[in-house]
Amino acid sequence: MWRALNQFSRSRASWLLLLLCVVGLEATALYFQHYQGLAPCVMCIYERVALLGIGVAALLGLIAPNDPFWRTLSLLGYGATAGWALKLSLEHVSYQFPDPNQLFGATCDVAVNFPAWAPLNQWLPSVFEAYGDCSKVVWQWLGWSMPQWLVGIFSAMLLVWVLVVIAQFIGRPPRRIFS
């Protein structure tokens, strides 16, 4: 299993599969926003940006998946952004379902806060402008809100990442001393 996972991570197919997952999830988010009328909140936009970061890592992996430099760079980017996305989605869930023991519930920002060198909400407001409320549950499927589904999705992405990273070390083909 480890060797097969190692070999798969060295193929373009693995990074293309990750990129297709990102494109599918981003398309789903835009469908909910523009066709179902769900207003994205600040956390939704940040989660969307984190997902785009995973997509950038997948694109880097597509460059030369068998090259250790590009594969390592891609894996680092994938792991870092998937971890950040999981943190954001957990925070978002805490806004929707606050701890009943807290006196005051936490709330998210009113507007997105991108760096001055990348004001995504000004460049592409139809994708990156937030006008929803983070604490409102506006959609559920099978009893889970959208941020709860994102926790599951990003957890699965991180689990796959952990397995692929482990496979980089223990799934290597044996070295031949004599050819």
Burial 51-85 (b: 16+ CB within 10 A, else e): bbbbbebbbbbbeebeeeebbeebbebbbebbebb
Token pair for 78: 């994938």
Please, what is the Cα angle at 178 between 172 and 179, to 5 degrees? 85
Q: What are the backbone dihedrals phi and psi of residue 67, each rounded to the nearest 5 degrees, phi first?
A: -85, 125
Query: For 136, what's the count of Cα atoms within 13 Å in the CB-facing half-sphere?
Result: 10
Whether the model clears a pTM of 0.75, i.e. scores above it, the answer is: yes
Q: What residues are annotated to the active site?
A: 41, 44, 48, 108, 134
Q: Hey, where are the domains in the chain?
A: 2-169
Amino acid code (one letter) for 174? P
Neighbours of 127 (CB within 10 A): 18
**Average model confidence (pLDDT) for the chain?**
87
Tokens in use for 123? 């460049």
Whether pLDDT at 6 is above 90: no
- What's the topology of domain 2-169? Bromodomain-like (1.20.1550)
* Separation between Cα atoms, residue 11 and residue 64, nearest integer Å: 9
pLDDT in tens, 148-166: 999 999 999 999 999 999 9
Name the range with the highest mean pLDDT among 32-41, 118-127, 138-147, 150-159: 150-159
The pLDDT tens digits for 69-117 are: 998 999 999 999 999 999 999 999 988 887 776 656 667 777 788 888 9
Q: Which of 149, 175, 132, 176 lies closest to 43 in space, CA to CA?
A: 132
Quick one: tokens of 116?
């001055």
